[in-house]
Each structure stands twice: as C-alpha cells, then as structure tokens.
Amino acid sequence: MKSSPWLVPTRPNPSAALRLFCFPYAGGGASVYAPWSKALPATVEVVSVQLPGREGRFHEPPLTNLPEVMDGVARAIGDNLDKPYMLFGHSLGALIAFELARRFVAHARPLPVALVVSGKRAPHTPSRRRPFARLPDAEFIREIAAYKGTPASILENAELMELILPRLRADATLFDDYQYRSSGPLPCPIVAFGGTEDAHINHTELLAWGELTDTFSYRTFEGDHFFIHSNHDEVSRALSEVIDSAVSVGKPALRCA
C-alpha cells in the first residue's frame, strides 16, 4: 500500500483479499478503529483515515471546507485501489465516505464492493439538528455533550478543551455547511448501521439510504449514537458478515433487523 499521512494501516496485510478504509466520526482520529484489526477477518487489511489536526497530524490545522477534505482523501485512497475495497464511515465519516464514492463514480474510478454507513441519516433527508459550529464555547460544548461521545472529564477540563475545540468546531462546520446535491443512485451496495437509542437519527432517516442505491440493506444495534463502541462485538460480527459476503459473492448481504 502506498503511504500517505491521510491513511493509517491498523493491520498491514499485503496479501489481504480486501482493503477496508474506515472514516472516523467528528472529533475522532484513526485510532478509534484500532480494535477492529483483531475483530475482523484476517483476510482484511484495515486502514483508518486520518484527517489533518488529529493524533499524528495534530500540528496541522483542521480543515473546515469539505472539498479540501475530499481532495486529500480521494488522492490518498485513489492511489490504493489495486485490490477490492470497502468503505466504512460513522457519523461525519459516513458522509465523507459517501461523497468519496460519488466522486469515484464521477471520475470513473474503481468503486467499493460496498459502502457501509453508520450512525448517519441519509444526506438527502432534512436535518433535525440546529447548526452549532459557530456558537459560543459554552453552548457549543453543551451540543457536543448531547452526543455522549466525549467523557465529562474532558468536557470539564478547560485546558484540554482549549486544545481540542478547534478540531471539534472544524468537524461541526463540515456538517453545518454540507449541502446535498442530487445525482443518480450509487452503482455499489450501501449497508446502513444504526443505534436503537440514537436520538439524532430515526429509523426513517436510516432507511432513506436505500433511495441512494439499487442494492441496500441495514442493521440496527442496541445503543446510542456511539453504538459502534458500546456494542463493539456485535457491530464487528455484522461487518464481518458484510465483508465475507462481498468477498465470496460479490454483493454484500445482511439481514435487516
């Protein structure tokens, strides 16, 4: 695999049958997917996407413009399409993965065997959240706390929040400024994951992903917006099922529940 600051292989495997590119949620870095290297089939090379301003790229300013993000991601992943691959993204990561698949369609690049979107409403459905990237610090932090993904010990640490607020605001800006532009259905399967207690995405918004592809399936898991962590084992098993099906059959199948 060609190296890039945008990509962090969590389990290098040159002989892998499939490469899984994983996109973190807002505020997250490549390390959030490190546990998956042991949970998924050994035939998979797990590669996490690292945006500027995160972990090993902390010294770089975070990006607030989605086209800039897409340019960097597309270059890095576009240089590594030498074998079948799959895209997985959670929340903001799902949005970036979806837009990457659309960009590859527009540029006639090899497409993923599947796009797995997690914890994200379909992008063409109306947003129910108010824009908050540009709110004063106190209000912004309350909005972040509502997602239950950042420990209170961090949110209450003024010095630490001073360091990470620019990264969180940058990601929130990507959400706030995103505008869906209609195009034809993706010519690759979409599999949607959702949490049964996720207050930010309802069942209708999850199922609406099916309107963006000709091949769709979905799965719900117990948990809130961050069910991929609280229900890690079940999510890993479901993702392994999608991967096995895609590799052996060519079209991922997953029972809907």
DSSP code for 213? B
CATH of the domain at 24: 3.40.50.1820
In a domain, 41, yes or no: yes
What is the model's pTM? Answer: 0.94
In a domain, 168, yes or no: no
Check if the beta carbon of residue 17 is closer than 8 Å to that of residue 42.
Answer: no
Which pLDDT does position 109 carry in this prediction?
A: 96
In a domain, 76, yes or no: yes
In a domain, 150, yes or no: no
∠ CA 249-250-252, rounded to 5°: 85
As for how many domains the chain has, the answer is: 1
Which pLDDT does position 257 carry in this prediction?
A: 45
Tell me how far apart the alpha carbons of residues 143 and 200 are, in angstroms, rounded to a whole number: 12
Which pLDDT does position 13 carry in this prediction?
A: 85
Check if the beta carbon of residue 180 is closer than 8 Å to that of residue 124.
Answer: yes
Q: Which residues of the chain have pLDDT under 70?
A: 249-257
In a domain, 159, yes or no: no
| Burial call 22-51: b when 16+ CB within 10 Å, e when fewer | bbbbbbbbbebbeebbeebeeebbbbbbbb
Which pLDDT does position 14 carry in this prediction?
A: 84
Tell me how far apart the alpha carbons of residues 159 and 162 are, in angstroms, rounded to a whole number: 5
For residue 116, give the H/E element and its range.
Answer: strand 114-118
Check if the beta carbon of residue 257 is closer than 8 Å to that of residue 212.
Answer: no
What residues are annotated to the active site?
91
Range of the domain at 122: 7-127+182-248
In a domain, 243, yes or no: yes
pLDDT tens, position by position, 212-254: 999 999 999 999 999 999 999 999 999 999 999 877 755 554 4
Identity of the residue numbered 47? V
